Structure 1
Amino acid sequence: MTPLVHLRNLNQKPLPCGPISTRGSYYHLEAMPRIGGSAITLVSERHCAEKLLRRLGRDPLPVFDPIAQSLANAGAAIVSRLRMSALNADLFDAIHMLCIVRGSVPRNGVTRTLAALRRNPDTPVQRHEIIRLAQALESGGHSLTQAIDLLRKSNPRLREFTFEFLRARMMREGLPIYL
């Protein structure tokens, strides 16, 4: 069992694991079957997920709160977005917001990028990590900014996400920009 992301629930979004309050949060967890096969992704309310993670000897993840100005302000930061370089912070925010607006976690390895950013917030972002995000963004219907704007209509307190450093890096790499 591996925790992928820990997200704040916005506007009492219905989740397969049951009702979660607006102030609550939830995890996307990845589980590997004991007998082999493909990994499955589960959604779990925070308390249940963290109880399971403790039993497995794994650390809980800091919550990503798109309303707070930083993870540090949310009071749950092991890794503060403020300690990251601007590009890393943009990438960190973009991956989390992609999970929120799509309601799922991309299966192309972006969670490895998140784990690396949590472990080493200032490690330079590699080209393949930007390519993974570009591929995940390309597979959606709207650009990420359009999806965030739609989400903002129902939750006006959502903070602004400009992704200016990520956008510049994608342009420099010659990648399609679906931000």
Structure 2
Amino acid sequence: MTDFMTALPVILIQPTYPGDLQAKGVHFQSTCNLCRDSHKTQVWLCFLVLSFLSTSTSAAFVPVPNTSHAQICLKSLKNAIEKSDAMLYAPSANDVEENCKVMSLRCYIWELLVVIMEEEIVGPKANCIFDFNARLPKDNFVGCRPCEAYSLKNITVFLDRLNNLLEEMTTQWNTYKT
């Protein structure tokens, strides 16, 4: 137990002087009598590093819950939504990078919520979209374009593109699950 209590990091500093040709900079050395020569510690550290690497490489796909259910909700709202003459931000499939699909879906859902409120659509059909929005990941997708960077389209083009994105994400989700 006393070895654990004395495990403190040590910082070695080499002062340098002008014209000194010795190594420059600060060197850090960590000493720990319990884990310096431990094979188990090395194995666990490798496992930890590989775990982080595997999560960062698969982070491009963020599973979105129940996109097929969102498609059903959208179909039930289609007649009420098509009455809108709003111009909405609607990224095309070519505009969106693979790691920005969820952010693109968030843009679509936010625009859809605006239409639902403007058209004063209420009830379970509208609540379905509100619930779906609440379940979307709230991550800040670094490197993704903001919603306003995409072109404005009429409601027909908007709905077609949203349906295409939902179908693609449903297929991706089904592939991911198997």
- What TM-score range do you get, normalising by the shorter chain? under 0.3
Structure ID, larger Rg = 2
- TM-score, reference length from structure 2: 0.24
1 or 2 for the larger relative contact order (CA 8 Å, sep ≥6)? Answer: 2
- TM-score, reference length from structure 1: 0.24
Q: Which structure has the highest helix share of the two?
A: 2
